[in-house]
Amino acid sequence: MGQYPFYWVDAFTEEPFKGNAAAVCLMNTGLSDSLYQNIAAEINLSETAFTEKIGESEYKLRWFTPVLEMPLCGHATLATAHILFSTRNEKSPISFHTKSGVWKAEKKQGGIRLTFPTLQSTKVEPPVELLKALGVTAPLDSLYEKSVGAYIFFLKDEKAIESVEPDFEALKKVTQKLSILGAAVTAKGSGKYDFVSRVFAPGVGANEDPVTGVAHCMMGPIWASKLGKTEMCAYQKSKRGGELRLELVGDTVFITGKAVTLIEGSISV
């Protein structure tokens, strides 16, 4: 049996109990996928990140929901970088080697900046059963991102975003039937926020995801085109809420956010 450092981090916030919670586990090599999945199911957060050091500021990184492994995750990457910078005095930038590519995390004055890929969506006819399960009628635009498997629906304003009340049992069945991870709703923001959103993914264990970095890899390019700007501030209007700053350069989206450590301990397995 081994003991591995464990941290509970609230990401895309600087206040405890806000943002999106992720577990970060610092692991050794040679551990099984089934062990990772069991740990993630036991912790039961939307994402648990498992990382192992492979070189100077170089780490392997994997992300698991309570039910499956994800190809990419923003908030758990931010949480992992936060832990490595704050508890391991790791040099910036850090390179994370993942199943979807090598992504970087860099300390900046305004937080930690992640280097992620832009994800391009295409306009589609919205599945009626998906709209019904979400409780959304007549979206302004409907788009689909194939590599992630997610729909994005553009609504008229922030009030429409706030009023969305999905039927989560129906939504879970529809996402499984369509073989997608979930759906996002988004609208133009107000004040300092260029756009706002909410994200729903009951099929992967998160009825409503509090703050979703990957969704902003999809929404960022679309809003950049709509607003005619490449630097934006976004807010995910979940119950916990979270703030993200985006900068688009070519096929890269830089996502900057803050994080706070809530719990430290160890896992004995």
Match 């391009």 to its residue by tokens.
120
Neighbouring CB atoms inside 10 A of 225's CB total: 11
Neighbouring CB atoms inside 10 A of 113's CB total: 21
- C-alpha dihedral over 77, 79, 83, 86, to 10 degrees? 110
Exposed / middle / buried, residue 129 (Cβ in 10 Å: 0-12, 13-18, 19+): middle
CA dist 10 and 154 (Å) reads 27
Angle between helices 74-87 and 213-227 (to 10 degrees): 110
Active site residue 169: no
Point out the catalytic residue in the list 47, 90, 208, 243: 47
Task: Report cis status (omega within 30 of 0) of the bond before 71.
Answer: no
Residue type, 79: A
Query: Which residues belong to the active site?
Result: 47
